[in-house]
Structure 1
Amino acid sequence: MSDGNHEQTAPADHGQATGKRAGNNRSVSPAWAPLLGDIRHWIDAHPCAVWFVAVFAALNIVAWIGATLIGRPFPMRGLSTSLGEFSLPRLLATLLIARGVLQLIVDVILLLVMVSIAEPLLGRARLAAIGVGSTLAGTLIGLLLCAGLAALLQGTPTVDRVRFALSPLTMGVGVLMAASAFSRPLWRRRIRLIGYAAIVAGLLFRGNPGDYCLLAAAVIGHLLGVLLTRRAADRTADHTAGRETEHAASQHHHVDPLHWQLSTSFEARRMFAAIALVLALGPMLTITSTMHVGPLSSLGLMLSPVDPDETTLASCLAGTTHAGCFFQFDLLRTSMPGAVLRSLLPTAVMAIMAWGLYRGRRLAAWATVVYYAFASLIAVAYYVVVPLAFAPDGLMSLVRHGMIVACVANAVLPALFAIATAVSFGHFPIRTDAGRLRRGCTAIAVAFAACTAAYLGFGLLRPHDFRPAATFGDLLAELPGRFIPIGFLSRTKLRFMPLTPFASIVYQGVGLVFWLTVLVVCVRWMRDILVTDDHARADAGRLVERDGESMSFMTTWEGNRYWTSPTGRSAVAYRVIGGIALTCTGPFGDRGEWLSDLREFARFCAANSWSPAFYAVHRAQRDALVDSGWYALEVGGEMVVDPRNWKTTGKKWQDIRTAINKAKRDGITDVLTTFAGADADVREQIEEISEQWAGEKALPEMKFTLGGVEELRDPRVRILYAVDADGLVLGVTSWLPTWRDGRIVGWTLDFMRHRTDSPNGIMEFLIARMAERLRDEGLADPSSAAEFMSLSAAPLAGMNPDRDNVDASGHEDTGTAMLQHVLQIVADWMEPAYGFRSLFNFKRKFQPSEEPVYVCYPDPAALPQLGLAVMRAYVPSMSAKQALAMLRTLQR
């Protein structure tokens, strides 16, 4: 790989403060001096956050020392209170005093993060006012909610005795949520989604009354932030033109606070994965907490100092008493190590699936939907359906015992997340090999059947190993409880308990064996998929670096499968959609094998009952396929510039010269780097620009031969961005390398996005500057001169129905004409959202040479599937609602 891939301009080239100060150039300065300078600069910029956290930490240390001197025990759990013995002074003290070292460390870090984020966005006066107001109001409202709901949700006599405390994080969460209204859209969405998911998970799985206060403080801060941004927007709207700075700041910060759309697949995956991980780890909150009054906190009873009462438990099993039976059943279940481990294994499984969601795996999305839908149904069955059959007073009995409310708490959250994941499948396009999926599902089914048979068989053969003696009906009724987490069994009747050690092993072990099998299968699914996919992509990356065409680097993107030649020196990237094996450009690797690869790949597709289609191939490969009896259709024109001859003199270059000169006057500079080489703030701004751009489209972000933020991360990809004197990134482009004989010979434009309020001509400026840079690099080192700079091809734009519309015999091909018409309809349909023709005409400003690209296919009968495959490849996450919206736009 050429060293030019990693070229970055000097700091002076981009004209922004990036933390590289003059001290960097002093050879006498110690190596850590710049870092210390950055830390001092950060402290100077966040004095309130630093002083607040420092005072909080000092107060805790002083309180601990004082408590130790007067003989108080440590950790300071004595500060907690209960609903039965409520003490407001002790409770308020827990808002300021951590009860242990670990809690203090965690609270200090989180408070520093929350307040430091809020301080520059809110200002010191609003920070203090919102902090005090949201903390006091949130505490008051949270305690009122807790007092009103605790008994209803838990319904046991222990509620009044449960000791609880407030969280010091209540002092920071309100200002963080208020600041989210002033932050950039990307961070606004992340703060609110992940913040609320974490708070609600703590509330449901732990149930500490402090969690109610935390939620109330967050909501109050959120509302205050929304009101402040609306007032700021109204004041800005009242001012006349000429206040450009305020107007730009308003555009930068204020958007609709209810805008939650996840515009790009990259951001959607991160949000779904984060929420899935929070929900998956929720039971761990219960295990590590001494509070167990949340509606999902039955699992946490295993840490309870209370043991099952043998006399009461025996009476409950015999049916002679009903008082406190549900509580005794819960204590018995959680006293069994196998049952507890069985309840934790689904957490591990769903944590793995959260990782799969982040990597865009369709299997992980399906598993998430199935798991949480099943969890919701189980909650309904165990809290309503089954108890209703035995309730003496029908629904009123369930209401009195709090089971209706518990059902809602257990069922609604997983159901909502399952629905949200199901409607967002388009963001998870990476599929699992069908054979591997079948083998894994078979293993899970066999494990379930074997465990069920072992449990039922043992119970029928040795019924007296249980108390009372097990019957077939009781065994069937208890069967689901052997596999589902014990958190879902709260408030359900226990029909028998094991008496002998062997009975206990079977009773606890069948579910444990089943979930261990599921865990192993899921780990292998994710590991095998990722290892196979990553190895194949790595091999493709090595072949691309041997030899390829202008768009061959796109074959290394995620979502492609790979066929490799028998020699292993060349390959074809493809994806199967509706029975069509649609390639991503032509073969790459050893150029001498390309023509044979066309034939061999077609044979490979025939062996798998697929219809091959070579998409975005150039003239030489098109001619070879047509000579073999294939059909071809031009699907676009690739715009190619020779940077060695780049110049902008003459009337036809007026727009380009104007863009360059305007950027210079406005203090706009360009930076050539890689995504990893850019500053963290620049990377964040690039992601924000991408989200802003995609959020304006009626259809989702496109894929296939059009890259997004994910594709910028490859270290071989160059990015060229424009930045103003204040460090604001205005626009960004990415450039894909093309190799010949192991040497980079050209660069292809891919990612091209800018802010909605960027100055006109920013993209012309960036493309022209890239051409100038390549020209200058070639002059400085002729051996590394780029032979071409491709502006790529606008999909489905520039199609010429009168050119090359013939079959192998030289006659006009009516089937190809029909496909051309179909694709033209698709192009017209998508034009309002993506502007292909506008992009095509934009690229013509650079006076390029036009090279047509084609789609080649052997079977005219597959034309309908081919048209659909092309559309699905470009917009895999398109929903029916979005398609209808686009149709209405086209009709207008």
Structure 2
Amino acid sequence: MSDTAAVNSRTDEPTRPNEPKRTEGPGKRGNPKTGGTDRSLSRSLGPVMRDVTGWVRSHPLTVSFAAGVLALNLAFVVWAAVTNGVFPPQLARISYDKLGQGLLVVVPFALLLVMHPLRLLLDIPALLAAGSVAESRFGAAKTAWIALICSIGGIAAGMGVSVAVNGHSAAWQSMAQLGTVLGPLAVAVGPLMAASAFTSLLWRHRIRVVGYAIVAALVLYRGEPGDYCILAAALFGHLLGYLMAQRDEEHMQWNHGTVFETRRMLGIVSAVFALGPLVAMSSPIHHGPLSTLGLLLGPNSLDNTRLQQCLNGANSMDCFVQYRLQRLSMPGGIIVSLLPCAFMLVVSWGLFKGRRLAAWTSIIANIGTAALAMIYYLVFPLAQSPDGMRALITHGAWRSALFTALLPIVFVVAVGMSMRCFRLRTSARRLTMALGGSIGVLLALCAAYMIVGLTRPNEFTIRPGVGLLVEELPRRFLPIGFLNEVTPDFLPRTHTIASVVYQGVGPVFWIVAVLAALWCFTDSALEGHEAQARASKLVEIDGESMSFMGTWDGNRYWFSPSGRSVIAYRVEHGIALTVTGPFGDRAEWEQDFRDFIAYCAEQSWTPVFYSVHAEQRDLLASLGWQSLDVGTEMVVLPAQWQTRGKKWQDVRTAINKAKRDGVTDVLTTFEQAPLSVQSQIMDISEQWAEEKSLPEMKFTLGGVEELLDPRVRLLCAVDADGTVQAVTSWLPTWRDGRIVGWTLDFMRHRPDSANGVMEFLIARMAERLKEEGAEFMSLSAAPLAGISVMELENQSAGVEFLQHVLMAVADIIEPVYGFHSLFRFKKKFQPQEQGVYICYPDSAKLVQIALAVVQSYLPGMKPADVMRFVKALRD
């Protein structure tokens, strides 16, 4: 039974599995003496065990492979312990020296064993997850063939790339002779990427983006040959899936996903890269371009004699290993490498939550990373080495520069193209204080470092002058992974004040930076949500059919002097554009218009009231304002709802078809809906957004984020298999603290859903509201549909200009969003039509008003979006 089957299609609340069941009579209670508790536990675990058993039976290949990997590794671990041998055994290590000798024996073991037993804690769950996705799409036989093809291709290509990247190094020579373990992930990643082509659009993006981010982190921070093989196997699987699918979706360009999903993906990818140094610590080979921390678990130890020889001018790869080990021998070096991870995790959290400051911080940090990589891997070595470019090639600095700089630049481009997703701002006051404090601490630490270096020169390996101190200063704040190929100018002697300052200035700065970032991001959340929370309480007192839209993110709020009413608005191009009229205490509304107008005058803004009704338009007209009809709201009275007569034929057909097809309506909230339903709703929304040539619209049109409010109702059409075919959301309207009506907002369905599913959902909502005794059901207004100028004397040319601009915008977005079609669709329900208007005081501001309306509906629209849209129309 699906999760949705537990939801009664005729009740307002879903079944809540966490509620205790009622008992009838004393015999039903659990009793230790009678074993009642055991029977209750058995009844609770029974469905879970049946689900697990069913999953195992439906994925025999995945379960068998994971179990085999686990058993084989544990067997070799026990054998190594009993025989005093090593794990993994030499038999499981693959190298080019062995590829021609016993290939059929070496490769299977290299793919089935792991480098360390603890990796089974990560690899086994990964195998089960990846294998279940692939096997459920392809079946056992096809999954096995795909795994075989991708594994063989991945080994050949990955080992070749690994040789090209690392073949010059001394470390590779030992790897070529001793070999390396590839691991079972090289088997699973190919089928997973191939299966992504057969998943929904939302999960396809998630699998590929997160999958490639994890693989990239493995390559950059571990750099084992097996990681290159995993990357190659993933690419082979991606290509194979593309060739197998050949669907229209696979040829779609990546347009605009939902704001909610885009910032989630960027936040997750940022977190994956932030955790890269910890990935490096899991590798005994530690040969990735950013893998210095991997030396912590490596077999090498610091040789002070060799270190001194290197500082005195000896030049070899062994010297760079000694430099890395020396930096790792100092606690400050380790801490200064881990704290930036914490800082970037905080930034990732900010990206996930939509903080604009986090987006800019990420851009600046990644540009800085790329710039520092070029300086320390190329500029400094070229300036210091007499061998010039030859030394860079010998020491691998060019490789480190390329890999270190490329990934941040790609991420900068991705964040920059998605700035529309990060709208939550931080107050200028707190931002200034955080930056000022961080810069002040940085300057103080630099001064302390310089003073100690000049006053205690004997506590260093050489006596540093001002020039050497300044050259070494930036390195005190950099993670040691950036200094892989950089020769230290001098080092502190142990147990001295100089050593404390040398190691301590970096960690202190990064601690301050992490705290400052948290402070700013927390302020951004509280500042925006405090006013929003106040407005959310006031909307529950009194409002109109679209007042609830004023509680959404992106709005500012003006509160009346008494605090009992509020106006939601946003400022664009000097225009304070409201989201409908006031809400809260109805007795204050008339005065609120006048007070808000005065407030805007103080701010040098032009107030414009958008989506107000006739009564409020008439009030503003008495003040000399002009108005323009920008839409028609469709209102249904549930008490009068009926579907008899010829005009209702389409609605009756939709209801009857849904019943025949086994489609039911489920009324719930996003919070109360099962996880499977939540995931499907997000999938439907992402599919809808990706198919549009323009970005997702906002302002008075809600998306997934607006569904999260527990006061918003969702009515879903669910078929007999538990698949959500369509979803609508309904916004509440209060009067005197009591809900009197609901307004339709979110309307999305699957591309292949049956015709009439939306008619079915709206009809069922009307029936439900009739039973509840609601006063009205608003189908909302299609933005910019049905525009007409009020018949006013002495109508100015400017009014016609505004009308023409808005009509032009409506015509441009009509093929994408279909507002006129939506307008005609809503007329099927025989609603009462009520005009909604835009009211403005000054015709001289009409150009700005037009721009403000367009910017509010399409905050992320850029010239490139327009060109893409025009191209889509032409095609």
> Same fold by TM-score, threshold 0.5 exceeded?
yes
Which residue of the partner structure matches residue 861 of structure 2?
Answer: 878
Matched, 1:110 2:123: no
| CA-to-aligned-CA distance 1:709-759 (integer Å, 9 cap, x gap) | 121222221112223334333222111111112211111010111222323
| CA-to-aligned-CA distance 1:179-228 (integer Å, 9 cap, x gap) | 11221221111111111110110111011222122222222222332232
| CA-to-aligned-CA distance 1:477-509 (integer Å, 9 cap, x gap) | 222212222211221232122237221222222
Which residue of the partner structure matches residue 311 of structure 1?
Answer: 305
- SS in structure 2 of the partner of residue 798 of structure 1: coil
Q: Hey, what's the Cα distance between the residues in 2 that align with 1:96 and 1:18?
A: 43
Which residue of the partner structure matches residue 631 of structure 2?
Answer: 636
Q: Hey, what's the Cα distance between the residues in 2 that align with 1:615 and 1:487?
A: 54
Matched, 1:220 2:232: no
Q: Hey, what's the Cα distance between the residues in 2 that align with 1:871 and 1:24?
A: 55
Say which of 774, 793, 801 aligns to 1:786: 774
Show the 5 A alignment for 1:349-360: 349-360=343-354
2:256/2:692 contact within 8 Å kept: no
Which residue of the partner structure matches residue 32 of structure 2?
Answer: none
Say which of 467, 475, 478 aligns to 1:473: 467
Say which of 668, 677, 686 aligns to 2:672: 677
- SS in structure 1 of the partner of residue 566 of structure 2: strand
> Residue 786 of structure 1: CA displacement?
0.8
Instruction: Report the residue type matching 2:675 in the other structure.
Output: A
Q: Hey, what's the Cα distance between the residues in 1 that align with 2:733 and 2:421?
A: 29
> Residue 289 of structure 1: CA displacement?
2.9
Q: Normalization by structure 2: what TM-score? A: 0.90
Which residue of the partner structure matches residue 345 of structure 1?
Answer: 339
Which residue of the partner structure matches residue 34 of structure 2?
Answer: none
Flag the 1:291–1:591 CA change in 2: closer, same or farther, 3 A: farther
| CA-to-aligned-CA distance 1:319-346 (integer Å, 9 cap, x gap) | 4656643333222222221122112212
Instruction: Report the residue type matching 1:587 in the other structure.
Output: P
- SS in structure 2 of the partner of residue 703 of structure 1: coil
Q: Hey, what's the Cα distance between the residues in 2 that align with 1:434 and 1:862?
A: 28
Matched, 1:120 2:136: yes
Flag the 1:620–1:556 CA change in 2: closer, same or farther, 3 A: same
| CA-to-aligned-CA distance 1:593-633 (integer Å, 9 cap, x gap) | 22233333334434444333322222333333333344433
1:302/1:335 contact within 8 Å kept: no
- SS in structure 1 of the partner of residue 568 of structure 2: strand
1:190/1:271 contact within 8 Å kept: yes
Instruction: Report the residue type matching 2:784 in the other structure.
Output: L
> Residue 86 of structure 1: CA displacement?
7.0
Which residue of the partner structure matches residue 369 of structure 2?
Answer: 375
Flag the 1:82–1:50 CA change in 2: closer, same or farther, 3 A: closer
| CA-to-aligned-CA distance 1:356-399 (integer Å, 9 cap, x gap) | 11111111111111111111111111112222223434333322
1:197/1:278 contact within 8 Å kept: yes
- SS in structure 2 of the partner of residue 791 of structure 1: strand
Percent of aligned pairs sharing the same letter: 49
- SS in structure 1 of the partner of residue 239 of structure 2: helix
Matched, 1:847 2:860: no
- SS in structure 2 of the partner of residue 118 of structure 1: helix
Flag the 1:350–1:788 CA change in 2: closer, same or farther, 3 A: same
Matched, 1:256 2:272: no
Q: Normalization by structure 1: what TM-score? A: 0.88
Flag the 1:397–1:70 CA change in 2: closer, same or farther, 3 A: closer
Which residue of the partner structure matches residue 453 of structure 2?
Answer: 459
- SS in structure 2 of the partner of residue 704 of structure 1: coil
Say which of 507, 514, 525 aligns to 1:519: 514
Flag the 1:258–1:614 CA change in 2: closer, same or farther, 3 A: closer
Which residue of the partner structure matches residue 10 of structure 1?
Answer: 8
Which residue of the partner structure matches residue 803 of structure 2?
Answer: 820
Q: Hey, what's the Cα distance between the residues in 2 that align with 1:801 and 1:153?
A: 76
Matched, 1:440 2:434: yes
Matched, 1:767 2:762: yes
Flag the 1:486–1:66 CA change in 2: closer, same or farther, 3 A: closer
Say which of 849, 869, 873 aligns to 2:852: 869
Which residue of the partner structure matches residue 3 of structure 1?
Answer: none
- SS in structure 1 of the partner of residue 49 of structure 2: helix
2:570/2:576 contact within 8 Å kept: yes
Flag the 1:18–1:64 CA change in 2: closer, same or farther, 3 A: farther
Q: Hey, what's the Cα distance between the residues in 2 that align with 1:17 and 1:79?
A: 56
Q: Hey, what's the Cα distance between the residues in 1 that align with 2:176 and 2:657?
A: 71
Q: Hey, what's the Cα distance between the residues in 2 that align with 1:311 and 1:825?
A: 78
Say which of 155, 174, 183 aligns to 2:190: 174
Flag the 1:200–1:889 CA change in 2: closer, same or farther, 3 A: closer
Which residue of the partner structure matches residue 405 of structure 1?
Answer: 399
Q: Hey, what's the Cα distance between the residues in 2 that align with 1:352 and 1:154?
A: 38
1:153/1:295 contact within 8 Å kept: no
- SS in structure 2 of the partner of residue 636 of structure 1: strand
Which residue of the partner structure matches residue 491 of structure 1?
Answer: 485
> Residue 137 of structure 1: CA displacement?
3.8
Which residue of the partner structure matches residue 697 of structure 2?
Answer: 702
2:127/2:188 contact within 8 Å kept: yes
Which residue of the partner structure matches residue 297 of structure 1?
Answer: 291
Q: Hey, what's the Cα distance between the residues in 2 that align with 1:18 and 1:512?
A: 49
1:373/1:414 contact within 8 Å kept: yes
Q: Hey, what's the Cα distance between the residues in 1 that align with 2:251 and 2:789?
A: 47
Instruction: Report the residue type matching 2:214 in the other structure.
Output: A
Which residue of the partner structure matches residue 583 of structure 2?
Answer: 588
- SS in structure 2 of the partner of residue 256 of structure 1: helix
Say which of 719, 725, 734 aligns to 1:730: 725
| CA-to-aligned-CA distance 1:84-132 (integer Å, 9 cap, x gap) | 9979867753533446653223222221111112111011210222223
| CA-to-aligned-CA distance 1:221-270 (integer Å, 9 cap, x gap) | 2233223223xx6xxxxxxxxxxxxxxxxxxxx63167544521122112
Q: Hey, what's the Cα distance between the residues in 1 that align with 2:117 and 2:815?
A: 58
1:689/1:755 contact within 8 Å kept: yes
Instruction: Flag structure 2 segments of 5+ consecutive residues without an equivalent.
Output: 29-38
Q: Hey, what's the Cα distance between the residues in 1 that align with 2:353 and 2:60?
A: 39
1:429/1:876 contact within 8 Å kept: no
- SS in structure 2 of the partner of residue 753 of structure 1: strand
Say which of 778, 785, 788 aligns to 1:797: 785
Q: Hey, what's the Cα distance between the residues in 1 that align with 2:117 and 2:395?
A: 39
Instruction: Flag structure 1 segments of 5+ consecutive residues without an equivalent.
Output: 1-5, 234-253, 779-784
Flag the 1:168–1:734 CA change in 2: closer, same or farther, 3 A: same
Which residue of the partner structure matches residue 414 of structure 1?
Answer: 408
- SS in structure 2 of the partner of residue 479 of structure 1: helix
Q: 732-741 or 85-94: which moved more?
A: 85-94
| CA-to-aligned-CA distance 1:643-666 (integer Å, 9 cap, x gap) | 110112233323323333333344
Q: 23-32 or 380-389: which moved more?
A: 23-32
2:420/2:860 contact within 8 Å kept: yes
- SS in structure 1 of the partner of residue 281 of structure 2: helix
CA RMSD of aligned residues (A): 3.3
Matched, 1:33 2:46: yes
Length, aligned pairs only: 849
Q: Hey, what's the Cα distance between the residues in 1 that align with 2:668 and 2:172?
A: 62
> Residue 82 of structure 1: CA displacement?
8.6
2:726/2:748 contact within 8 Å kept: yes
1:7/1:672 contact within 8 Å kept: no
Which residue of the partner structure matches residue 42 of structure 1?
Answer: 55
Instruction: Report the residue type matching 2:161 in the other structure.
Output: L
